[in-house]
Amino acid sequence: MKKIFTFIVAAILLATVGASAQNKLWTAKQNWTVKQTKSQQATQAVSGFSVLGVETPYTALNYSTLIPTNGTPVQGSFTTQNNMVIDMWGDTFTGIGYSFAVEAGKMYRITCRYEATQDIYFYTGFHILTGSTLEGNDNDVIGGDGGYMYGSVLTVPCDFFASENATLRLLLADYELNNLSYTIKIEEIRIPSYTEINYPNLNLGATATSSLSNTDNQVFIDFEDETIIARGYTFAAEAGKTYSISLRYFTPDYTYIEGGFSLLTGGTLQGNMNDIIDDGAYNYTYDGKELLITYNYTAATTGNIRLIFAAHCYYDLVYSLEVKEASSSVITLPELLNNTTRTITYSANMQFNSTGYTTDLVAGDETYYFRYDDSYFYAVAYKITLPAGSNIQIHSAKENDSYLLIYKADGMGGYTFITSDDDGYDYYSYDSYLNLMTPSAGDYYIVVTDYSSYTAGNYYLSVWTQNEPDNTITSIFANSSNINVNINATDEEIRAALMALTLGGTTGGGTVKLENNPFAWYIEGNTATYMPSNAPLRYVFFDSVEPIVITINRTISGLNNASADTTVIYAYDRNIVVRNANAGSKLVVVDLNGKIVASTIVKSDEIIIPVAQSGLYIVRTSTQTTKVVCK
């Protein structure tokens, strides 16, 4: 099920939140082994771990050391010589055991920080085991979490809800067989229920952008005894109207991301499954910087609708959420082909590429081999007129999973299905590919859709006769060279302003829109620099492409009303700014100890004085003395 509440039980997110898990061991190893990490290579390489150290079944491990639940950190280390453990599948890892006491109805946050002396591959985490007799099977595992990454430090957090009073076991584990030091702490926490969090209003057509933090945005799902990283909004709906919901997550680096959203009643929340009025949508990526989740919702009644969305990722996320009224009309495949305005011009040496977003919802029609009846697919169509005996190649990609089809006008107002493809471009992607030899001249139609129904998203299409078009982006640009923010704006507020910019890239065939990933911006002082990171579908950045540099204009309330000869003094971060001081006069900055931090003669309209420490400073000019606080 795809409910925000049930997908954490039914999908991978279950083990990550770590409470009363049914699919055990980080859901654990079943999910991670899909990645084919280096732990498998290590297992094969040592062929019997007796050469590394004595192997101990996890059931015989000593768990007697008690970790306090007041947040006091416990430190230690384990090595391949002294801490070799065998799990229930016969795999070997380095590990060590602890125990901790819990009380029924309370929530505990377990945080383990693993450190290595150099950059390594981490495949590390911990398992929460029952306090009862260990049976040597997956019934022993009741929670836990883990992560994989390359670096020198990996922090693994997990929230655990105790359903009974017990003393539980905690098994630290590293399947990469590294020698590691660790710091672990357990503390009792209170996480607000989803019934208690704020659901601010989101206007239709507006975009909400903010952060989703692993520490600040925990929400408790009471009736599932689970925690998730979530936020909520409210939007107004009218009965019978359809609303398009688009949620996009951004991360600072390539990683596993999963997320989804559900729609809740606008009335009083009861704290049970009756609060859910629509399952919503769910998606994931194994290794990406972005995740897109789209869904169309048709309102049954008029009134406010709550939307709660959640994610699981080892990085804090930035999200972009938009809800807008969508057309509820569904068109047929012939209507899609009849009405298309997208055309491709054929030539013997042609190279064509295009990007866009699938917006038309088309009814499945097995008569035309357009997927299957009683389902609906977002699609786009291109028309190309071809001579007899011509040969073109076609490549399509799409967020999620591209599906490619070709039709030919039959000359009598109808269309004939020619061929289709799902994943034929290469072994590594879900891209589609077709090599078309035309037996007769005529109008042909290329249709790009998704393998899954109701799945809109960005797409890429290229068509060529000899060589596939170059998809290299040689330069990038923004629609503005500056943004305006409040003088005390936080980095999050600055990133929100940067997200409003439209970014583009130049290729040999024209321009392409760039996704504005907030983590691609580097903010320093009064400038923000966009470093190319995640190119659009199937595009790549030229090695030496220049970044985008944006000026940050910081303004303060009332500044525009000040006269030109009024001295304005304020602070942002660890900078003191003085504007409109008398030219030639002396400017002095003193800290609370009376030490002169800066002394200068005013030679310009604006002077910026950096300070080394946060705190209170006194600024003296020829006309005034002002106290400012640098944070």
The phi and psi torsions of 105 (rounded to 5 degrees) equal 85, 0
Burial environment of residue 461 by CB neighbours within 10 A (0 to 12, 13 to 18, 19 or more): buried
Strands 510-514 and 472-473: unpaired
Q: What is the pLDDT of residue 224?
A: 62
Q: Any alpha helices (H) in 412-519, and if so which ranges?
A: 491-499
Q: What is the pLDDT of residue 38?
A: 32
What is the pLDDT confidence band of residue 331, given thresholds at 50, 70 and 90? very high
For residue range 63-94, what is the model confidence (pLDDT) as tens digits?
999 999 999 999 999 887 777 877 767 778 88
Alpha-carbon distance of 456 to 454, in angstroms, equals: 6
For residue range 551-580, what is the model confidence (pLDDT) as tens digits?
998 876 433 333 445 677 877 667 788 888
Cα 265 to the chain's mean position, in Å? Answer: 26
For residue range 448-482, what is the model confidence (pLDDT) as tens digits?
999 988 888 889 999 999 988 888 888 999 999 99
Structure tokens given for 533 = 């990171």
Alpha-carbon distance of 148 to 340, in angstroms, equals: 46
Task: Identify the CA nearest to 391 among candidates 464, 469, 470.
Answer: 464
Q: What is the pLDDT of residue 264?
A: 95
What is the pLDDT confidence band of residue 147, given thresholds at 50, 70 and 90? confident
Strands 226-237 and 55-57: unpaired
Q: Give the pLDDT mean for 335-362.
A: 91
Does residue 175 carry a pLDDT above 90? Answer: no
What is the pLDDT confidence band of residue 24, given thresholds at 50, 70 and 90? very low
Q: Give the pLDDT mean for 507-518.
A: 79
Considering the chain, what is the average pLDDT of its residues? 82
The SS3 call for residue 13 is helix
What is the percent of the chain where pLDDT is above 90?
34
The SS3 call for residue 595 is coil
Between the CA of residue 562 and those of 249, 357, 526, 556, 558, what are the distances in Å? 41, 47, 22, 11, 7
Q: What is the pLDDT of residue 517?
A: 80
Does residue 205 carry a pLDDT above 70? Answer: yes
Alpha-carbon distance of 358 to 376, in angstroms, equals: 13
Alpha-carbon distance of 351 to 371, in angstroms, equals: 28
Q: What is the pLDDT of residue 130?
A: 94
Structure tokens given for 112 = 């383990």
Structure tokens given for 335 = 């209507």
Q: Give the pLDDT mean for 367-395.
A: 94
In CATH terms, is domain 207-326 a member of 1.10.645.10? Answer: no
Contact 423, 404 (CB under 8 A): no
Q: Which fold has domain 37-189?
A: Jelly Rolls (2.60.120)
For residue range 521-544, what is the model confidence (pLDDT) as tens digits?
888 888 999 988 777 778 888 878
Structure tokens given for 289 = 């910087």
The ranges assigned to domains in the chain are 37-189, 207-326, 333-464, 472-555, 563-630
Alpha-carbon distance of 335 to 456, in angstroms, equals: 18
For residue range 300-326, what is the model confidence (pLDDT) as tens digits?
999 999 999 988 887 788 888 999 887
Task: Identify the CA nearest to 259 among candidates 187, 315, 296, 309.
Answer: 309
Q: Residue 494 contacts by C-beta under 8 Å, 6 or more apart in sequence?
A: 483, 485, 523, 528, 552
Does residue 47 carry a pLDDT above 50? Answer: no
What is the pLDDT confidence band of residue 256, given thresholds at 50, 70 and 90? confident
Q: Which fold has domain 333-464?
A: Jelly Rolls (2.60.120)
The phi and psi torsions of 29 (rounded to 5 degrees) equal -60, -25
Domains 207-326 and 563-630 share a fold: no
The SS3 call for residue 253 is strand
Per-residue b/e over 322-339, b at no fewer than 16 CB within 10 Å?
bbeebeeeebebbebbee
CATH for 563-630 (3.30.70.890, 2.30.42.10, 2.60.40.3080, 3.40.50.300): 2.60.40.3080
Contact 324, 205 (CB under 8 A): yes
What is the pLDDT confidence band of residue 21, given thresholds at 50, 70 and 90? very low
The phi and psi torsions of 496 (rounded to 5 degrees) equal -65, -40
Does residue 225 carry a pLDDT above 70? Answer: no
- How would DSSP label each residue in 86-111? E-TTS-EEEEEEEEEEE-TT-EEEEE
Q: Give the pLDDT mean for 267-282.
A: 90
- How would DSSP label each residue in 225-244? TEEEEEEEEEEEE-TT-EEE
Cα 45 to the chain's mean position, in Å? Answer: 35
Q: What is the pLDDT of residue 477?
A: 92
Q: What is the pLDDT of residue 53?
A: 54
Per-residue b/e over 375-410, b at no fewer than 16 CB within 10 Å?
ebbbbbbbbbebeeebebebbbbbbbbbbbbbbbbe
Burial environment of residue 617 by CB neighbours within 10 A (0 to 12, 13 to 18, 19 or more): buried
Q: Give the pLDDT mean for 148-153.
A: 85
Cα 342 to the chain's mean position, in Å? Answer: 32
Alpha-carbon distance of 482 to 501, in angstroms, equals: 9
Q: Any alpha helices (H) in 458-605, and if so which ranges?
A: 491-499
Q: Across the chain, how many H-helices and E-strands are there?
A: 6, 41
Whole-model pTM?
A: 0.57
